[in-house]
Amino acid sequence: MALVSADSRIAELLTELHQLIKQTQEERSRSEHNLVNIQKTHERMQTENKISPYFRTKLRGLYTTAKADAEAECNILRKALDKIAEIKSLLEERRIAAKIAGLYNDSEPPRKTMRRGVLMTLLQQSAMTLPLWIGKPGDKPPPLCGAIPASGDYVAKPGDKVAARVKAVDGDEQWILAEVVSYSHATNKYEVDDIDEEGKERHTLSRRRIIPLPQWKANPETDPEALFQKEQLVLALYPQTTCFYRALIHTPPQRPQDDYSVLFEDTSYADGYSPPLNVAQRYVVACKEPKKK
């Protein structure tokens, strides 16, 4: 029943989203006439080479209207973004509910391990579709936006992706990309699945061994303080793998769609670092360990 309810709600939200998109286009078309008038007024002022009281009053009215139009369109777009976020959340909840409901139970044949190329594509898509945080004027980026860590009492939800410190087969410890299965408030421990072997490799880990991944991308043009800066030590997901390694920020993103450029620690190079490699904001988190000398 829960799955049916989620499907029904998603259908409702998609209909509401469609209406909001239509409203956005209507609002944009309505405001276009006013923007054309602003342009024509400026052209007339340049032709006459003077700013008369008439033009000053007219422009003040036109710009006031343009500002109100932009705010109205912005409000509609924010509502649309909220609908998209709710749809994504419901889809994730539905996936987790299906997993818990035993759609993959012992009576079924073992699932095939996901092909490497498919997994890498999914991870790339997850990074690309991570929402960009867009605050209102004066708003500060929230926790888990870009480089801003989670609050001290934050508990990751089932389905959330995290960096998890686990013991490898050879006994060494490494940071892997994992998915949260559950959290016990009694023991303060997480159960997580290795993203590379979902359902096969499950780990029980304390909170200090878990680092939640960003839930929003930070916009370098409006919130540069929410990004890691050059030469800052981080843990970054090595390209085409599901493991995090220590790295230095080489270049932070310059535009919202840009990745970090990072230098991974690598003793095979003379200076101890790899050439610059690109890693998405989604897969770069703070490293609490000291920098190697």
Q: pLDDT by residue (tens digit) across 121-165?
A: 999 999 999 999 998 888 999 999 999 999 989 999 999 999 999
* Boundary residue ending a domain (64, 83, 101): 101
What would you report as the CA-atom Rg of the chain, rounded to the nearest whole angstrom?
25
- Residue 222, pLDDT > 50, answer yes
Residue 39, C-beta contacts closer than 8 angstroms, at least 6 positions apart: none
Q: In sequence order, what are the residues at sequence separation of 6 or more whose Cβ sits closer than 8 angstroms to the Cβ of residue 287?
A: 233, 234, 235, 246
Least confident of 13-27, 89-103, 121-135: 89-103
The structural domain count of the chain equals: 2
Asked if residue 152 is part of any domain, the answer here is: no
Residue 196 covered by a domain: no
Tens of pLDDT along 245-259?
A: 999 999 999 999 999
Structural domain contains residue 134? no
Q: How far apart are CA 153 and CA 183, in angstroms?
A: 13
Tell whether pTM > 0.85: no
Would you say residue 217 lies in a domain? no
> Which of residues 83, 101, 119 is at a domain's end?
101
CA–CA dist 262, 276 (Å, integer): 5
Residue 17 lies in a domain: yes
SS3 call for 200:
coil
| CATH number of the domain bearing residue 252 | 2.30.30.140
Q: What is the pLDDT of residue 142?
A: 96
The percentage of residues in the chain with a pLDDT greater than 70, rounded to a whole number, is: 90
Predicted pLDDT at 3: 63
pLDDT at site 110: 47
* Domain range for 63: 1-101
Q: How far apart are CA 86 and CA 77, in angstroms?
A: 14
Sign, CA torsion 192/194/199/205 = negative
Q: Which of 71, 101, 131 is the last residue of a domain?
A: 101
Predicted pLDDT of residue 109: 47
Residue 2 falls inside a structural domain: yes
Tokens 């700013």 sit at which residue?
51
Higher pLDDT, 51 or 24: 24
Is the residue at 160 inside a domain? Answer: no
User: Residue 49's pLDDT band (boundaries 50, 70, 90)?
Assistant: confident
Higher pLDDT: 170 or 176? It is 176
| pLDDT at position 100 | 65
Average pLDDT of the chain to the nearest whole number: 89
For the cut 70, the answer to whether the pLDDT of residue 44 exceeds it is: yes
Closest CA to 34 of 5, 6, 59, 51: 59
Place of tokens 């980026």: 141
170 inside domain: no
Determine contact, residues 217/282, Cβ cutoff 8 Å.
Answer: yes
